[in-house]
Structure 1
Amino acid sequence: MTVELPSLPVREILPALAEALETSPSAVLSAPPGAGKTTLVPLFLLDQPWLNGGKIILLEPRRLAARAAAGRMAELLGEKVGETVGYRMRLDNRVSAKTRIEVVTEGVFTRMILDDPELAGVSAVLFDEFHERSLDADFGLALALDVQSALRDDLKIIVMSATLDVERVAGLLGDAPVLQSEGRSYPVDVRYESRNSDERVEDAVVRTIIEAHRSDAGSILAFLPGQAEITRTAERLAGRFDQNTMIVPLYGNLSQKDQDAAIRPAPKGTRKIVLATSIAETSITIDGVRIIVDSGLQRLA
């Protein structure tokens, strides 16, 4: 299957990746956010001879990122999700007999490999956003390496990350070749806003968003600790802007329709204010955002 891949930075190293996988069972790919690794690498691998009709499993740390990646790849192929590209996560599957790229969450992959230790019909496993590091990701990689060494020496394993100690991971994969995409850099103007000790984080973020919206152009992405803070910030922003500015939340418990609305670029002539948790830091890319407002807080278990 041949598809015209978008001209994103990671495209330049795809020939080197193909060459590396001809002689090595594993590879490490480092590319900054927005370079295109999540969507371009799996589509590129579809045409590799060693795939031999097998499936590609792409692991994503978050459900939102998994759905977004599957949707974007299906769009590039001119198909619907569930045809060549599908996803599988807890309580939500979109796969069919035609599916050759499955985007799965890390916990689902652990269950897949425990149920089928040979990973029959799977030719490659890609660990995306590995720098986020989780027990499920580490355990999944350990199991995949075990399968590769004991049962499936033809199984390809690729670890992809935006920020990672690539040499250490390459050593873990038996001194696997390392490929690095430089991505694209743009000048960034950093401004610090003060917050009084008795001021709620939502109030400080609202004040900063209003000032940024007034003084600069483009959509705004604001990071808040969790769903409750996002809801309160949205309530405080309601009615502050005209109809050409949309205010949309983005967190894991939203419906797929609402998540898609947050990720989709703002229509021409309009602006968008996305109120998000840390899910939007590296797992997904939101087009059109020129301003980032970071509360500096994150809620972790």
Structure 2
Amino acid sequence: MTSAVPTPQPALLPPCPLDAVRSKVDSALALGRSLVLQAEPGAGKSTRLPLWLLAAPWLRQHDKQGRILLLEPRRVAARALARYLARALDEDVGRTVGLRMRDETRVSHATKLEVLTEGVLTRLLQADPQLTDTACVIFDEFHERSLTSDTGLALCLESQAALRPDLRLVVMSATLDAAPVAALLGNCPVVTCPGRAYPVDIRYLPPRPETTRSPGGAPLLWRHMAAVIGELCRTEPGGLLAFLPGAGEIRQVAALLEGRLPPHTDLYPLYGNLSPQAQDAALAPSPPGRRKVVLATAIAETSLTIDGVRMVVDCGLARLARFDPASGLTRLVTERVSLAGAVQRAGRAGRTEPGLCCRLWRHAEDHGLRPTARPEILEADLCGLTLQLAVWGAEPTALPWLDPPPAAALTAARQTLQRLGALDPRGRATALGRRMAALPLDPRPARMLLGAQDQGHGPLACCLA
């Protein structure tokens, strides 16, 4: 019999608010229960709890070492968090702490904690519905309520009920309504941790209302944002993170800031389509004597600590995908951020020291913000979900959902998948449908790629997709 490999212990980490509830977390999970953890941004949810669990006795049962899966909603957050957790153990990513997402897998036989993007979990479940070597699945930042996180939780709950009663599920968020989630998880315990690591001063700086577009052509909001950023960089110490809805707006504000920032200030964009190298540059600590301004989309809203940032400027807008059943297409729309999203954004300023958040709207407008973002499952194209569940062998209406998918959207998805040849007339996955589901793509481009490959036009279809 081989002896167990000892788990590396984290280096001494600075105190954080979550330390006060560690005994409650350990007790709930030691009893084999699932758990909902509610704690403010900066309390240490993403960085502390996974490291604590590495030492949990229940990870090793029946001479087998169980692993922990930590789900993150975005690739940039998953990569940064994996690096942080590995660094806390004085290791590189790929040893005790691994990373798994589309186009990048860094795990080994020594990996006990895997940081995943949410879509990967569905594929792991399709390959192994029991999650045989997994002891715990952690859903981080669950308040974002993405379609993939809702689907992953529903499938984990079904696996837990039918195959893996010992599987522990942890749902974490700063702004989540905990009671419905706890009820869905079998009336599991809720651990609440008040307080953030550092206080954040909130200021409201709306633009002047006399016009919406300046003579230079840029919308007034972006010119106002550039002016606020420039003034803060001249009068306040530390780095700055500004939230904008998309890459186009980031480029506009970057152009307006050109030549207006003080010396020794570096400007970085941060959005989803940037290369990993460019994203890493935006997150890396500034060299001595320099500071940074990061212009980011909502990908910086959660689970990220950008070293040196103590100021946030929030335009109050977010770009979201909305499905139009009439056209069968998904389009991007710009909407007001939710109150929960605004809280998350402000929390980025208090991660490493007392911070400042400037909101570019009036204080009274807070009352008009919706409390939380509308769950994606109520708005999205459900073709991918319907195909994955057909491969899983479950009826969507039979799964345990926090918000059930709309019947009309499910009907439209089934009809589309049948036209694509992915489902048979009884709604079961065809051989083609299973091949489509195995690709990390939506069903329509997946069908195009497979059809083109069969006709010898695979490279052209890849370019079109």
Q: Please indicate the TM-score interval, normalised by the length of the shorter structure.
A: over 0.9
Q: Residues 262 and 67 from structure 1, CA distance in 2 versus in 1: closer, same or farther, beyond 3 angstroms? A: same
Percent identity, please: 51
1:187: how far off?
A: 4.6
Mapped to 2, the partners of 1:187 and 1:252 lie a distance apart of 27
Q: Tell me, yes or no, if structure 1 residue 251 matches structure 2 residue 271.
A: yes
Structure 1 residue 242 displacement after superposition: 4.3
Q: Distance in 2 between matches of 1:220 and 1:105?
A: 27
- Of 63-72 and 191-200, deviating more is 191-200
Runs ≥4 residues deviating over 6 A: none
- State the distance in 2 between where 1:288 and 1:180 align: 28
Corresponding position: 1:236 with 2:252 = no
Displacement after TM superposition at 1:239 (Å): 2.7
User: How far apart, CA to CA, are the structure 2 residues paired with 1:10 and 1:286?
Assistant: 20
Q: Deviations over 1:114-156 (max 9, x none)?
A: 1110101111100000000011111100110111111111111
Deviation at 1:232, TM superposition (A): 2.4
Q: Deviations over 1:187-245 (max 9, x none)?
A: 51413131531241432221221122122222111111101111222222223234410
Question: How far apart in 2 are the matches of 1:187 and 1:57?
Answer: 31
Query: Which amino acid in the other structure matches residue 45 of structure 2?
Result: K
Equivalent residue for 1:217?
237
TM-score (norm 1): 0.95
Q: Distance in 2 between matches of 1:5 and 1:51?
A: 22
Question: 1:110–1:139: 8 Å Cα contact kept in structure 2?
Answer: yes
Structure 2: distance between partners of 1:243 and 1:217:
13
Please tell me the residue identity of whatever aligns with 2:298.
S
Q: Which moved more, 1:191-200 or 1:276-285?
A: 191-200
1:32-84 superposed Cα distances (whole Å, 9 cap, x missing partner)? 11111112111110111110111100011111111111010011011111111
CA distance in 2: counterparts of 1:5 and 1:126, whole angstroms? 23
Q: Distance in 1 between matches of 2:137 and 2:98?
A: 15
Match of 2:70 in 1: 58
Larger radius of gyration: 2
Match of 1:142 in 2: 154
1:23 matched to 2:31? The reply is: yes
Query: Pick from 182, 199, 213: which aligns with 1:186?
Result: 199
Gaps of 5+ in 1: none
Cα contact 1:33–1:285 (8 A) shared by 2: no
Residue 290 of structure 1 and its aligned partner are, at CA, apart by: 2.3
How many residues align? The count is 301
- Equivalent position amino acid for 1:41 in 2: L
Root-mean-square deviation (CA), in Å?
A: 1.6
Classify the secondary structure of the residue corresponding to 1:300. strand
Structure 2 residue runs of 5 or longer lacking an equivalent are 1-6, 322-465
Distance 2:26 2:86 in 1: 22
| 1:121 matched to 2:129 | no
SS in structure 1 at match of 2:172 = strand
Q: Which has the higher contact order (CA 8 A, sep 6+)?
A: 1
Q: Is the 8 A contact 2:36 2:190 kept in 1?
A: yes
Report the TM-score when normalising by structure 2.
0.62
